[in-house]
Amino acid sequence: MTTATHVTDHAHDHHDHPSGIMRWVTATNHKDIGTLYLWFAFIMFLSGGVMALCIRLELFQPGLQYFRPELFNQFTTLHGLVMVFGAIMPAFTGLANWMLPLMLGAPDMAFARMNNWSFWLLPPAAALLMISFVVPGGAAAAGWTLYAPLATQMGVGMDLTIFAIHIMGISSIMGAINIIVTILNMRAPGMTLMKMPMFAWTSLITAYLLIAVMPVLAGAVTMVLTDRHFGTNFFNAAGGGDPVLYQHIFWFFGHPEVYIMALPAFGVVSQVIPTFSRKPLFGYHSMVYATASIAILSFMVWAHHMFAVGMPVTAQLFFMYATALIAVPTGVKVFNWIATMWKGAMTFETPMLFAIGFVCLFTMGGFSGVVLSIAAVDIQLQDTYYVVAHFHYVLVAGALFSLFAAVYYWLPKWTGHMYPEGRGKVHFWWSMIAFNVTFFPMHFLGLAGMPRRIPDYATQFTEFNTMATVGAFAFGIAQVYFLFFVLLPTIKGGQKAPQRPWEGGQTLEWEVPSPAPFHTWEEPPARELVDKLSAEQKLH
Ligand code: HEM
Ligand SMILES: [Cu+2]
């Protein structure tokens, strides 16, 4: 069945948009905006990575002092903020922009101009964050959580950070509205909600989470701003306020935020694993319900970040049980991915390696999360390197590895070229080993009592810190290798990619040519095509 609705060649692409820089400044095409988001996220990832390497350099050996302690605190704070708001979140919005219209059979995102805006708000916000390093007093140094009262005592760098968070929040909310309206209103005829790809489901639920919690963060940092400049005392104990209140509001945003970075990863992996197992996704419906229940439960667990603030035991018990409960739908997902691979005709191209790496390491991160959910244990491990290890297993091996799986999986559709498979495998194994050398020892540093956010430490923590630093640099170099030896060469040229580079691809994006023309699905795909693909995925 051919897709006659598509311009099969690119002869007309050039006059569909202005050329040069103006193409990008005025972009309204979902593919161009997706590309902008992905490059922005990669640049932010590299800058957050450089900050991480500065942190690790300082912690290579006890007694070193490459950076002033204040600057170390600024690196730690900005590393977290840049990686969360500048790298991971925009990357998933970029993927959604590129892929959702192609996978749903829609010509573009619902609000093309708002889409342009939601992207172009990000670079100025990122600039505010980076400029804060050079203003008097330096960048914010209160940790990425920006806890009061420390945040209310910081210099002007904190105000720039608060404005940056406001702007990035607006960008996220606009992006989320666009994703929700596109998914609910622009699916191809015949593609009911329970027939759409899992990546669309996780994007939809993530978008609702974003709309629900980004205003909460905006509220929290605005109260810090008014405490700083307008004499309010929301978090000022001396003025009758309560600094612990800030932690409740921040984590009411913060915990759903971690799922805003995990759910899209689940969606990507649920596309990649069936393709390279050559089997439909096992338990599609239970996957959808598990995603929705994780999103709902994520609103009921926030105080597991605060077991050490002196909460009543009843509250600790509630948040402990609610957190343990999240393990159930997460377990369903891991079971379904394994069941999809079970007896599948599996091949291990790079996207599949990153997807399997994700499942293994994210599950390990989940296990240390269950350990931390037990209040009595968490009171020992709170604010130690065990926590740093935990969230890097879920955020780096989780979100980041799934993003690499997505890039390798869809790069042929984006560029029209196959990436060099051998180098992809080198990048995967290099990242996998370096990641574990960096973060696995951190579990033991935390169990031995090493606090996080300290620029120096006692000698008994030396060996594991040295190992973590060597691993971190190896991980960083692996990503530079990816940029110069995989990504840029594939964009520039290489083996031509066929329309269906992956034999097991079961979704609509594989029905358009590679590279995908500037305009696609100007006419919705034929109903029979949608039905055929749904039948192949055993969706009814
Ligand atoms: C690329 C490799 C990465 C390395 C080597 C790395 C390293 C580190 C280290 C050493 C710390 C702890 C600083 C301390 O408490 O002393 C840290 C904190 C943190 N990292 Fe990463 N990280 C990496 C990637 C990421 C990614 C992809 C994310 C994604 C969201 C992330 C999010 C965070 C957050 C939120 C913190 C807490 C910052 C704070 O304490 O306020 N990191 N990272
Ligand atoms: Cu949490």
Residue-wise pLDDT tens digits, 432-447: 999 999 999 999 999 9
pLDDT, tens digit, for every residue of 306-327?
999 999 999 999 999 999 999 9
What average pLDDT does range 334-363 have in this prediction? 97
pLDDT in tens, 288-297: 999 999 999 9
Distance (Å, whole) CA 483 – CA 477 = 10
Tokens 């007093």 -> residue? 137
Query: Whose Cα sits closest to atom 20 in ligand 1?
Result: 80
396 lines ligand 1 (CB under 6 A): yes
Q: What are phi and psi of 496, to 5 degrees?
A: -65, 140
- For residue 527, pLDDT over 80 is answered with yes
CATH number at residue 223: 1.20.210.10
Burial of 357 (0-12, 13-18, 19+ CB in 10 A): buried
The answer to whether residue 6 sits within a structural domain is no
Return the best residue to mutate from 53, 392, 442 for the ligand 1 pocket (most ligand atoms within 8 A of CB): 392
387 exposure class (CB count in 10 Å sphere: 0-12, 13-18, 19+): buried
Residue 3 domain-assigned (yes or no): no
Ligand nearest, relative to CA of residue 475: 1
Q: What is the mean pLDDT of residues 459-483?
A: 98
Chain centre to alpha carbon of residue 45 = 11
Q: What is the DSSP track for 383-404?
A: TBHHHHHHHHHHIIIIIIHHHH
Q: Is the CB of 475 under 6 A from ligand 1?
A: yes
Pick 540 or 260 by higher pLDDT.
260
Specify whether 540 is catalytic.
Answer: no
Closest residue by Cα to atom 32, ligand 1, is: 80
Instruction: Report residue 494: phi and psi, to 5°.
Output: 110, -175
Decide if 492 is catalytic. no
Confirm or reject: Cβ of 86 under 6 Å from ligand 1: no
Annotation marks residue 509 as catalytic: no
Report the 10 Å Cβ neighbour count for 190.
Answer: 17
- Pocket test of ligand 1: the residue of 146, 388, 442 to mutate, having most ligand atoms within 8 Å of its CB, is 388
Report which residue type is found at 513: P
Has 305 been annotated as catalytic?
A: yes
Ligand 1 pocket, residue 262 CB under 6 Å: no
Least confident of 180-184, 223-227, 246-250, 504-508: 504-508
Do 364 and 393 meet the contact criterion of CB atoms below 8 Å apart?
yes
Residue 5: pLDDT over 50: no
Q: What are the tens digits of pLDDT across the range 400-421?
A: 999 999 999 999 999 999 999 9
Looking at the domain assignment, is residue 439 inside a domain? yes
Which ligand sits closest to the CA of 57?
1
What is the domain range of residue 201?
20-539
23-27 average pLDDT score: 96
* Residue 8: inside a domain: no
Q: Is 392 in the pocket of ligand 1 (CB under 6 A)?
A: yes
Residue 266 near residue 202 (C-beta atoms within 8 A) = yes
The residue from 93, 132, 161, 172 that is catalytic is 172
Ligand nearest to the CA of 322: 2
Q: How many Å lie between the centroid of ligand 2 and the Cα of residue 251?
A: 7
Which one of 305, 390, 392, 427 is the catalytic residue? 305
Q: Tell me, what's the pLDDT at 302?
A: 98
User: Of all residues in the chain, what percent carry a pLDDT higher than 90?
Assistant: 94
Say whether 427 is catalytic.
no
Q: Is residue 531 part of a domain?
A: yes
Which one of the listed residues 37, 98, 144, 502 is annotated catalytic?
A: 144
Q: Is the CB of 80 under 6 A from ligand 1?
A: yes
Does 330 qualify as catalytic in the annotation? Answer: yes
Average pLDDT over residues 56-73: 97
Rg of the chain in Å (alpha carbons): 23
Q: What ligand is nearest to the CA atom of residue 90?
A: 1
Are the C-beta atoms of residues 116 and 33 closer than 8 Å to each other?
yes
**What is the mean pLDDT of the segment spanning 204-232?**
98
Ligand 1 contacts CB of residue 502 (under 6 A)? no
pLDDT value at 114 more than 80: yes
Is residue 144 lining ligand 1, measured as CB closer than 6 Å?
yes
> How far, in Å, from the CA of 164 to the mean position of ligand 2?
23
User: Of 80, 83, 102, 82, whose CA–CA distance to 34 is shortest?
Assistant: 102
CA distance 83 to 225: 23
What does the pLDDT look like over 187-198, one tens digit per residue? 999 999 999 999
What is the rounded CA–CA span in Å between residue 221 and residue 227? Answer: 10
pLDDT band at 247 (very low <50, low <70, confident <90, very high): very high
Task: Give dist(CA 531, CA 169) in Å, integer.
Answer: 38
Within a domain: 9: no
Largest pairwise CA distance in the chain: 72
What is the number of structural domains in the chain? 1
Query: What is the distance in A from the centroid of ligand 2 to the CA of 291?
Result: 16
Atom 37 in ligand 1: residue holding the nearest Cα? 80
Annotated active-site residue 402? The verdict is no
The residue from 108, 349, 509, 511 that is catalytic is: 108
Beta bridge partners of 417: 496
Residue for token digits 């879920």? 394
Residue 12 lies in a domain: no
- Measured CA distances, 490 to 83, 256, 516 (Å): 25, 36, 15
Q: Are 86 and 129 in contact (CB under 8 A)?
A: yes
Residue 34 lies in a domain: yes
